[in-house]
Amino acid sequence: MPDPPRTVLRMDDQAEDGVTTATAPLVDSFGRVHSDLRISLTDRCSLRCTYCMPEQGNVWLSRDSILTSDEVVAVARVAADAGVTKVRLTGGEPLLRADLADLVRGIAALRSDGRPLEVTLTTNGIGLADRIDELVAAGLSRLNISIDSVRRDRFTALTKRDRLADVLAGIRAAAASGLRPLKLNAVAMRDVNDDELVDLVQLALDVDAEMRFIEQMPLDVGHAWDRSTMLTRDEILSALRARWDLTPVPGRGGSPAERWWLDGGPRTVGVIASVTAPFCGTCNRLRLTADGQLRSCLFGHDELSVIEALRGSSDSSQRDAGVDAVLRACVAGKRAGHGIDDLSFVQPTRGMNAIGG
Ligand code: SAM
Ligand code: SF4
């Protein structure tokens, strides 16, 4: 087993003000180096996807517990100093944040080991068409848009909102923006959208995007997930093989998605099989909730408070040291795997909308 993480200053890295800020990388006790920070900006949403949150009765995070854009950028800066190279903004629905472009601008201006941070967005696409230009100008690197059905009645039943046209407008705007690779995400569900997997891939091909199917995970607020009825990676692949010849794309690295060439390429499709083919061994991700709690795993229960470190001191170096300590403690406590196959597994209390997907 590798040595436990150490906090050492690399004296060759300098911040703009000349103060040495780079710190040791975030390595956990299994040797996994953490370079990817997912930040949830809100638990609220313009949709109510059945696998994520209920239509009514949601208990929202209080407004004053939500991190401000300055606080989010402050955490991203400390994380960048510790080797984080990529930040994904998510939610809930990140487009509900009026200050989203400011956030993107603030994070895109950060450097990790001398290179600009990659800032990506996961969104349901509603309202994106009106905001894509300001997001691109602010420095957004690329984006993922979620769409589970291209049939209006089905989309409405699944999300409890008649907004398919808005999502499609968002996808078209993203395609026109030129940001690539553009990815579309769909949760594949038995007897819900399993008969339109080919149509979803075709939509992605039409807009120069990659379709990625996600196995449904036990992260719904209502705790209604049932493993025995979920659509598996193998079933998704077999539905796609009826239409395309699939050959594996090599070089997956730490990516959650396995990818295949369609009919020999160059177009591709991806599958994120968190349940039947977990990829915990290469996980390089940390997650910050909208109310400032740091998590090392989607499926875990452990959270460490970053908001206390942020709001506990008016001295910026003390604040940064506090955030850095929380990042390191979180990584040090990370478990080997999500354990959802263990008999002892208990679904997290927070739903996906409050953790950040
Ligand atoms: N609202 C944005 C969106 O839908 O893209 C960002 C947040 S959403 C929680 C991020 C991703 O998580 C989406 O692609 C969504 O489909 C996925 N997701 C939500 N609940 C899920 C679940 N129970 N299992 C698998 N994926 C889920
Ligand atoms: Fe909203 Fe995304 Fe959850 Fe759907 S998956 S309810 S769009 S946060």
Task: State pLDDT tens for residues 179-232.
Answer: 999 999 999 999 999 999 999 999 999 999 999 999 999 888 778 888 888 899
> 316-334 as b/e, with b when 16 or more CB fall inside 10 Å?
eeebbebbbebbbebbeeb
C-alpha 220/C-alpha 228 separation (Å) is 16
Report the pLDDT averaged over residues 13-32. 71
Q: Is the pLDDT of residue 87 over 80?
A: yes
Amino acid identity at 351: G
Domains of the chain: 7-180+283-355 (3.20.20.70)
Place of tokens 């603030």: 106
Give pLDDT, residue 36.
Answer: 97
Report the mean per-residue pLDDT for the chain. 91
For a pocket test of ligand 1, which of 39, 43, 52, 96 has the largest count of ligand atoms closer than 8 A to its C-beta? 52
Task: State pLDDT tens for residues 110-122.
Answer: 999 999 999 999 9
State in Å: Cα 321 to ligand 1 middle. 32
Task: State pLDDT tens for residues 141-167.
Answer: 999 999 999 999 999 999 999 999 999
- Which tokens in the block code for residue 269? 């499709």
State in Å: Cα 249 to ligand 1 middle. 24
Q: Is the pLDDT of residue 248 over 70?
A: yes
Report the pLDDT averaged over residues 17-37. 83
Give pLDDT, residue 318.
Answer: 95
Any atom of ligand 1 within 6 Å of the Cβ of 45? yes
Any atom of ligand 2 within 6 Å of the Cβ of 47? yes
Please name which ligand lies nearest the alpha carbon of 122.
Answer: 1
* Contact call for residues 78 and 37 (beta carbons, < 8 A): no
Q: How confident is the model at residue 296 (pLDDT cuts 50, 70, 90)?
A: very high
Task: State pLDDT tens for residues 297-313.
Answer: 988 888 999 999 999 99
State in Å: Cα 16 to ligand 1 middle. 37
State in Å: Cα 278 to ligand 2 middle. 22
Q: Is the pLDDT of residue 357 over 50?
A: yes
C-alpha 138/C-alpha 140 separation (Å) is 6
Report the pLDDT averaged over residues 66-86. 98
* Contact call for residues 104 and 90 (beta carbons, < 8 A): no
State in Å: Cα 45 to ligand 2 middle. 6
Q: What is the DSSP letter of 61?
A: P
Packing angle of the helix pair 69-81, 100-108 (nearest 10 deg): 20
Any atom of ligand 1 within 6 Å of the Cβ of 357? yes
Give pLDDT, residue 339.
Answer: 67
C-alpha 31/C-alpha 347 separation (Å) is 26
Q: What percent of the chain is predicted at pLDDT more than 90?
A: 78
Amino acid identity at 2: P
Of ligand 1's atoms, which has the minimum distance to the CA of residue 40?
7
Q: Is the pLDDT of residue 249 over 90?
A: yes
Give pLDDT, residue 343.
Answer: 62
Any atom of ligand 2 within 6 Å of the Cβ of 48? yes
Q: Is the pLDDT of residue 17 over 60?
A: no
C-alpha 40/C-alpha 77 separation (Å) is 16
* Contact call for residues 132 and 90 (beta carbons, < 8 A): no
Of ligand 2's atoms, which has the minimum distance to the CA of residue 122?
2
State in Å: Cα 309 to ligand 1 middle. 29
Q: Is the pLDDT of residue 12 over 70?
A: no
Q: Nearest C-alpha to atom 4 of ligand 2 is from which residue?
A: 49
Give pLDDT, residue 187.
Answer: 97
Overall pTM > 0.85: yes
Any atom of ligand 2 within 6 Å of the Cβ of 53? yes
State in Å: Cα 68 to ligand 2 middle. 21
Report the pLDDT averaged over residues 134-142. 98
Q: How confident is the model at residue 342 (pLDDT cuts 50, 70, 90)?
A: low
Amino acid identity at 333: G
Any atom of ligand 1 within 6 Å of the Cβ of 51? yes
Q: How confident is the model at residue 6 (pLDDT cuts 50, 70, 90)?
A: very low
Report the pLDDT averaged over residues 27-48. 97
Please name which ligand lies nearest the alpha carbon of 49.
Answer: 2
Q: Is the pLDDT of residue 265 over 80?
A: yes
Please name which ligand lies nearest the alpha carbon of 217.
Answer: 1
Any atom of ligand 2 within 6 Å of the Cβ of 49? yes
